[in-house]
Structure 1
Amino acid sequence: MQKIRHDLRLSETVSPFGVGAIVDIRGESLIAPDTSWWDRRTAPEIHCDRLVDQLIQPGRPRPVLRQAPAHAGVAGQDTASLPYWRFPAWRFCERCLKLSKLTTIEKGHFKNRCSCGGALVPMRYVAVCKTGSHIQDIPWFMWAHRGYDKGVSDEVRVCRSYKELRFVRANSRGEGLASLRVVCDGCGRSRSLADLMGEGALHRDGIRCDGRQPWEPAESVSSACEADLTAVQRGATGNYIAERVSALDIPEEKSRSEEVSDQVRAHDYFARLVDDNGGPKSEMIAGWIAEELGVTPEDVLAVVLADSNERGDTGVRRLKDGEWAAFVKKTESGKDTELSDFVVDGWLVNSSTRGPEDLTSLLVGGGQVHRVREVRALRGFRRHDPGAAFISADLGQDPRRRPVFPSIELFGEGIFLQFDEFALRAWEQLPDVRARAQVLIDRRDRLDWARSRLDTPEPRLIALHTIAHLLIRRLAFASGYSSAALQERIYASTERSEGMAGILVYTAAGDAQGTLGGLVRLGGPEALIPLLVAALDDADVCSNDPVCIESDRQGAFQLNLSACHGCALVSETSCEFGNRLLDRQLVLGGSEVTGLLAGVLPAIRGGLQSL
């Protein structure tokens, strides 16, 4: 084991250099092993019960959230650290060009130097499993002596010159991969890296998936992986697709629909209603329960249907239910005098609120979030494809040991906006609006990974999500924070009887006890409503129009409609859905679509022209 003194920000240990990620440090290429390799004595525990509840694994004890060890100032010799595994093991010398996976040891320490004195450079290409999310070294000696061309003679096949490989560039062969070659001085075999590319290239050379991660021992593999390998560049984005989950540390509140559901389940007649299972007595029994509880029979039957279908909400949705209820309560309460990690000064829209009526009529109120604590955890990762197998952040085999998930706590500020539920429901019922949203719903449903990782793109979700992006882009000019420093949280659902319709834009820092107040000062109605108008004005004309506004298939997997980098996209780290499920037309309107805020800009411009 070699100690390489290098500092990472605490947030980087969750993303982008968390478990399973490759990081380049001082000429070395390293990969982070899972948390079963961590020294738990040096990794402090982070407490957030709401988040832990969403990370519980079947058959495993309750998990633990732990933060990577940290230090202040210059690191000492005995400073706690995280383990990283050297990957890829194959390297070449920048001076003599020798290719090997041997490591020089000098005075008991590993040395990243060749025997000739040249620095060892990690190989550029590695092999990734297409569906199993495994990654491994390309066995360069084996690969160099395989192939189906005329160069594979008997002398090549039996070559054992393991120390005679060189990685060279042949300028006479042009540019690109064709000019990069692995040469064996023992048998004279030479093969171009262009042979790595192409469907099934490694499979034809007899190179199979090891079925494990680089830090896992070979004996840990219980069954062979039959998936094909593909050669990819070491730093390619698709090599690591992290799956994170976050929760705001707020007082747990129950929404009205959750309270009704609890009351229905506790009623004496509920068991009889379940036993009838939709039979002829169901409506009658539901009516009895509804009359006593002061709700509708439809509300009662919805609870039974949810239980019978076992329609388990995603963890993120359950987290958002409690957050939404807490924000709504704060919005109605006015100035917050509590001393906690969740401080929000709420305000409501009333007759004195200045702004375009087409905008204020859609708003209920908002909140200036002075302080909020967020906890983020890394659940695991995938490789190569969003639909590949999921790899947990803790691969420990002991079923009695509590799983550990890398986490970070952040403190920050933000702006909350609550939209009027009745106005949104009326807008969502318009046939043109429903037809527009159905385009994204159909595309999302055709993708297996999208169905499990992306919320159903209802009209309100698409519109509120797009508004959040437009607001983030405008706040980058007014708040003092870059757009990459801002995060969004979208509260949009029609599955509850009272619904959810709101957005939170916030910033949080993991290595500070707060932020500078740039968002809070813009969170009042006198500043926020003009900012919203300015954001709509920015998005009214895109530099890619008319192509952008007339498009209905943009972005990754065509999961955006009228939205591009010129108008609505932000940093992917700021977006809950990876810059997907966006559409300007559902906000601003189009030739055949009624936008949620379509009347705002024409009303303002008309007023200016009349002055």
Structure 2
Amino acid sequence: MERIKHDLRLSETVIPFGVGAIVDIRGASLIAPDTSWWDRKYAAEIKCERLVDRLGPSVLLEAPTHAGRAGEATKGLLYWRFPEWRFCERCTRLSRKTAKDKGKWANVCANCKGALVPMRYVAVCERGSHIQDIPWFQWAHRGHDSGVTETVRHCRAYKELRFVRTATHGEGLKSLRVTCGGCGRSRPLSDLVATESLKRDGVRCEGRQPWEDEKDGDPCEHNLVAVQRGATGNYIAERISALDIPEDKPRSISGTDAIRGHMFFEKVVADNGGPQAEMVAGWIANELGVTPDKVLAVAAADDDVDDAVLLNLKDGEWAAFLNKLDKHARDTSEGDFVVDGWRIDQSEGTSQAVADLIAGIGQVRRVREVRALRGFRRRSADASMVSADLGFDARRQPAYPAIEMYGEGIFIRFNEERISEWESQPAVQARARLLTERRTVTPWAHRLDLPEPRFIALHTVAHLLIRRLAFASGYSSASLQERIYSNSDRVDRTAGVLIYTAAGDAQGTLGGLVRLGQPEKLVPLLTAALDDADYCSNDPVCIESDRQGTGSLNLSACHGCALISETSCETSNRLLDRQLVLGGRNVQGLFEGVLKQARAEIRIR
């Protein structure tokens, strides 16, 4: 049996070659089994309490690594051969690995010594996210044409199957045929991709993944679809990431805790509603810098309400960033979360429009990000999710593949008052409502963020800035990531953007991005990004459009102006609109004044 040793980047073990993915390596087609097949003695555990709290009781494991060239004794991950059906490039004969092979696997044809190539098509479950080989012998002898005879039905020439190409039957898939040398039956691949073709041929879903035992598969009621082996829809990774930062509470929760911890708070509770309660609440309010009404509201709140529960991983991150920005100084702390805070003043090079809109900038000099693979789906985003660990039970917690990345970034906090004033306009709300309604009716879109006006505007600005930073930072746009902090339906409203890059090296990245976080450099870059987006090569079609992208979940945004690499975007290039950023015929853009003032200053100079 030949063992293939091949090096992957550590990040590739999470995506794109994570659990359940098909990868072509040196002429072989392989699939990655779940983490129950990992040797845990050589898989290092990664610690990230914030991420584990979100995933539930679990373990984060990093694939084994090595330095230098891989040898026989080098520990690695197991990948299964899939599909099992192959054809010979020379004699075109089809063959399949069976239990009789006892683990042996040949890469050359036993008949003519030609190279064996994996079959191009596999079968994917429409809803269950299962995948399996197409039973080529069974499929070749099925069909409803008049050529099916008793000889074909009772054919047992299992070793006489061939995959041939002939120009006599047409072009495309009609010219690719599976032919039986025993009974003469021949069938084109065009029959394979027809609607419900596998169902008509009696091919049923086995309800399992290729690395699972045949006894483990449960009956699956969904139909199979024949797809190309390397189709992108065969693997849709379900990834989750978190920044490893000090877990700070949102300010409303911190204020509530301070009120409850005051020595006089019990007196307010005891006399709630009475004259003494108002007087004591005034004392507490003066000391803590809050209103007496806030103190009375906390005293009257139900004791069973747990205010400390964070609604999202980003809530703690937002609070941590604000604590760093409030210092307005260089961060001299050590660790994996170092942020210098800057205040935006109307100084030389900074317009009044920018100073009013941006509340602060953070130069993220060092940040640690942990990425984990929860599972995957196949065929469609609303199919069943398959866990990255299929072997866990009550005795063992699930293990998820994970990597830790170190990097740098730029954090921008926007003025909450200005954004709230802008998003209250009826025209702005009506524009955002288009995406809200489409998100509701699209089955898989519920996993996307709620497209309220501030989210769409900040998300689009993040894309525009990434496109511009790719020219100035030294990193490609695909290397930059976004993280959008946008919520208006909570006590602690958020309005910010983090653009960062990270690498698997413990030393992090090279500093080309964080140096651009200084106001005198970032403000011109932001203005230039807005100016770039004001003209799109697809205008006027693009700027006047309100239906673009998958599921029409983009408005005025296309590859010529606002789209970036899907791996860099939290929502895979959806929920974007230039009109809510720059303005349109009937809509005022959030950053419309910034661009107008910048151009006016240029004309004056």
Structure 1 pair 300–429 and aligned structure 2 pair: CA distance change class (3 A): farther
Structure 1 pair 516–28 and aligned structure 2 pair: CA distance change class (3 A): same
Give the letter for the 1:561 counterpart.
L
2:340 counterpart (324, 340, 345): 345
What residue in structure 1 maps to residue 14 of structure 2? Answer: 14
Higher mean alpha-carbon deviation, 352-361 vs 42-51, is at 352-361
Higher mean alpha-carbon deviation, 394-403 vs 569-578, is at 394-403
How do 1:82-97 residues align onto structure 2 when only pairs under 5 Å count?
82-97=77-92
How do 1:420-431 residues align onto structure 2 when only pairs under 5 Å count?
420-431=415-426
The alignment status of 1:80 with 2:62, answered yes or no, reads: no
Query: Cα distance, 1:495 vs. partner?
Result: 2.5
1:220 counterpart (216, 219, 228): 216
Residue deviations 1:251-278 (CA, integer Å, cap 9, x gap): 1111113335667999989999xxxxxx
What residue in structure 1 maps to residue 550 of structure 2? Answer: 556
Q: Structure 2 CA distance, aligned partners of 1:118 and 1:440?
A: 55
What residue in structure 1 maps to residue 28 of structure 2? Answer: 28
Q: Does the Cα contact within 8 Å between 1:85 and 1:215 map onto a contact in 2?
A: yes
CA RMSD of aligned residues (A): 3.0
Q: Structure 1 CA distance, aligned partners of 2:113 and 2:43?
A: 38
Q: Does the Cα contact within 8 Å between 2:405 and 2:502 map onto a contact in 1?
A: yes
Q: Does the Cα contact within 8 Å between 2:346 and 2:352 map onto a contact in 1?
A: no
Structure 1 pair 258–173 and aligned structure 2 pair: CA distance change class (3 A): farther
What residue in structure 2 maps to residue 278 of structure 1? Answer: none
What residue in structure 2 maps to residue 404 of structure 1? Answer: 399
Query: Cα distance, 1:288 vs. partner?
Result: 12
Give the letter for the 1:168 counterpart.
V
How do 1:356-367 residues align onto structure 2 when only pairs under 5 Å count?
356-367=351-362
Q: Structure 2 CA distance, aligned partners of 1:397 and 1:287?
A: 56
Give the letter for the 1:112 counterpart.
N
Q: Does the Cα contact within 8 Å between 1:421 and 1:498 map onto a contact in 2?
A: no
SS in 2 for 1:602: helix
Query: Cα distance, 1:559 vs. partner?
Result: 0.7
The alignment status of 1:521 with 2:526, answered yes or no, reads: no
Per the normalisation by structure 2, the TM-score is 0.92
Structure 1 pair 602–113 and aligned structure 2 pair: CA distance change class (3 A): same
Higher mean alpha-carbon deviation, 485-494 vs 352-361, is at 352-361
Give the letter for the 1:539 counterpart.
A
Give the letter for the 2:144 counterpart.
Y
What residue in structure 1 maps to residue 571 of structure 2? Answer: 577
What residue in structure 1 maps to residue 596 of structure 2? Answer: 602
Give the letter for the 2:61 counterpart.
R
What residue in structure 2 maps to residue 166 of structure 1? Answer: 162
The alignment status of 1:151 with 2:147, answered yes or no, reads: yes
Q: Does the Cα contact within 8 Å between 2:349 and 2:524 map onto a contact in 1?
A: no
Q: Does the Cα contact within 8 Å between 1:264 and 1:270 map onto a contact in 2?
A: no
Structure 1 pair 33–570 and aligned structure 2 pair: CA distance change class (3 A): same
SS in 2 for 1:181: strand
Give the letter for the 2:136 counterpart.
W
Q: Structure 1 CA distance, aligned partners of 2:236 and 2:260?
A: 40
The alignment status of 1:593 with 2:587, answered yes or no, reads: yes
Query: Cα distance, 1:203 vs. partner?
Result: 0.4
Higher mean alpha-carbon deviation, 248-257 vs 466-475, is at 248-257
What residue in structure 2 maps to residue 55 of structure 1? Answer: 55
Higher mean alpha-carbon deviation, 382-391 vs 103-112, is at 103-112
What residue in structure 1 maps to residue 196 of structure 2? Answer: 200
Percent identity of paired positions between Structure 1 and Structure 2: 63
Q: Does the Cα contact within 8 Å between 1:542 and 1:567 map onto a contact in 2?
A: yes
Query: Cα distance, 1:478 vs. partner?
Result: 0.5
What residue in structure 2 maps to residue 321 of structure 1? Answer: 315
Q: Does the Cα contact within 8 Å between 1:344 and 1:367 map onto a contact in 2?
A: yes
Q: Does the Cα contact within 8 Å between 1:331 and 1:346 map onto a contact in 2?
A: yes
Give the letter for the 1:15 counterpart.
I
SS in 1 for 2:592: coil
Query: Cα distance, 1:108 vs. partner?
Result: 8.5
Query: Cα distance, 1:360 vs. partner?
Result: 1.9
How do 1:102-251 residues align onto structure 2 when only pairs under 5 Å count?
102=97, 110-115=105-110, 116-221=112-217, 223-251=218-246
Query: Cα distance, 1:3 vs. partner?
Result: 2.5
Q: Does the Cα contact within 8 Å between 2:93 and 2:162 map onto a contact in 1?
A: yes
Q: Does the Cα contact within 8 Å between 2:268 and 2:299 map onto a contact in 1?
A: no
Structure 1 unaligned runs (5+)?
57-61, 273-280
Query: Cα distance, 1:350 vs. partner?
Result: 2.5
SS in 2 for 1:395: coil
Q: Does the Cα contact within 8 Å between 2:33 and 2:80 map onto a contact in 1?
A: yes
The alignment status of 1:41 with 2:37, answered yes or no, reads: no
What residue in structure 1 maps to residue 499 of structure 2? Answer: 505
Query: Cα distance, 1:219 vs. partner?
Result: 1.2
How do 1:343-492 residues align onto structure 2 when only pairs under 5 Å count?
343-352=338-347, 354-451=349-446, 453-492=447-486
Residue deviations 1:499-549 (CA, integer Å, cap 9, x gap): 111101111011452111101110100000000000001000000000100
Residue deviations 1:404-450 (CA, integer Å, cap 9, x gap): 10000011111110001111111110001101111111111112321
Q: Structure 2 CA distance, aligned partners of 1:231 and 1:161?
A: 24
Structure 1 pair 379–303 and aligned structure 2 pair: CA distance change class (3 A): farther
Higher mean alpha-carbon deviation, 471-480 vs 288-297, is at 288-297
Query: Cα distance, 1:196 vs. partner?
Result: 1.0
Higher mean alpha-carbon deviation, 112-121 vs 506-515, is at 506-515
Query: Cα distance, 1:172 vs. partner?
Result: 1.9
Query: Cα distance, 1:319 vs. partner?
Result: 1.2
Q: Structure 1 CA distance, aligned partners of 2:183 and 2:93?
A: 15
Residue deviations 1:120-153 (CA, integer Å, cap 9, x gap): 1011111110110111111101100111111211
Aligned length: 590
Query: Cα distance, 1:469 vs. partner?
Result: 0.3
Structure 1 pair 270–157 and aligned structure 2 pair: CA distance change class (3 A): farther
Higher mean alpha-carbon deviation, 18-27 vs 96-105, is at 96-105
SS in 2 for 1:168: strand
Higher mean alpha-carbon deviation, 593-602 vs 37-46, is at 593-602
Q: Structure 1 CA distance, aligned partners of 2:84 and 2:359?
A: 58
Structure 1 pair 270–499 and aligned structure 2 pair: CA distance change class (3 A): farther
Residue deviations 1:553-572 (CA, integer Å, cap 9, x gap): 11111111000000000000
Q: Structure 2 CA distance, aligned partners of 1:582 and 1:95?
A: 51
Give the letter for the 2:438 counterpart.
R
Structure 1 pair 302–376 and aligned structure 2 pair: CA distance change class (3 A): farther
Per the normalisation by structure 1, the TM-score is 0.91
Residue deviations 1:2-36 (CA, integer Å, cap 9, x gap): 53110000000000000000000110000000000
Higher mean alpha-carbon deviation, 159-168 vs 94-103, is at 94-103
Give the letter for the 2:158 counterpart.
Y
What residue in structure 1 maps to residue 94 of structure 2? Answer: 99
Q: Structure 2 CA distance, aligned partners of 1:443 and 1:515?
A: 39
What residue in structure 2 maps to residue 568 of structure 1? Answer: 562
Structure 1 pair 125–306 and aligned structure 2 pair: CA distance change class (3 A): farther
Structure 2 unaligned runs (5+)?
none
Q: Structure 1 runs of 4+ off > 4 angstroms?
A: 103-109, 260-272, 286-308, 310-313
Q: Does the Cα contact within 8 Å between 1:104 and 1:112 map onto a contact in 2?
A: no
Q: Structure 2 CA distance, aligned partners of 1:588 and 1:265?
A: 45
